């Protein structure tokens, strides 16, 4: 049984609370199954941090969320646990244009 999900994201640790708030339903559902969800800022070394996580937390589902810096390249997605954020992030930004504009 999965007891821990570790989500590494590319960016500063100040984004952690935003990811946690946006994913509150995931955290709630995981908690119902006694599974912990943690968001970890990978800063400027996401692939290195993710590789370390896979080795140091082998029983967790380690996930890496990457920013897309260019056109999609399938050879960069070497793992079923690496996801590109560009479409999702753009959807967040455009979901509530009034809030985005106020920000």
| pLDDT by 10s per residue, the chain, length 103 | 899 999 998 888 888 888 888 888 999 999 999 999 999 998 788 888 989 999 999 999 999 888 766 556 666 555 678 777 665 566 666 677 787 677 7
CATH number of domain containing 46: 3.40.50
Token reading at 57: 């937390």
Residue with tokens 């590494």: 8
Nearest to 42 by CA among 29, 54, 27, 30: 54
Range of the domain at 69: 4-102
Structurally, the chain folds into a number of domains equal to 1
SS3 38: strand
Q: Are 14 and 2 in contact (CB under 8 A)?
A: no
């Amino acid at each position: 049984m999965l007891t821990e999900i570790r989500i590494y994201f590319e960016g500063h640790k100040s984004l952690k609370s935003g990811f946690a708030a946006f994913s509150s339903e995931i955290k709630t559902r995981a908690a119902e199954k006694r599974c912990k969800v943690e968001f970890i800022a990978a800063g400027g070394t996401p692939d290195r941090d993710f590789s370390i996580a896979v080795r140091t937390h082998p029983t967790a589902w380690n996930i890496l969320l990457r920013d897309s810096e260019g056109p999609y390249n399938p050879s960069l997605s070497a793992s079923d646990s690496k996801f590109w954020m560009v479409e999702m992030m753009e959807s967040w930004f455009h979901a509530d244009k009034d809030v985005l504009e106020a920000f």
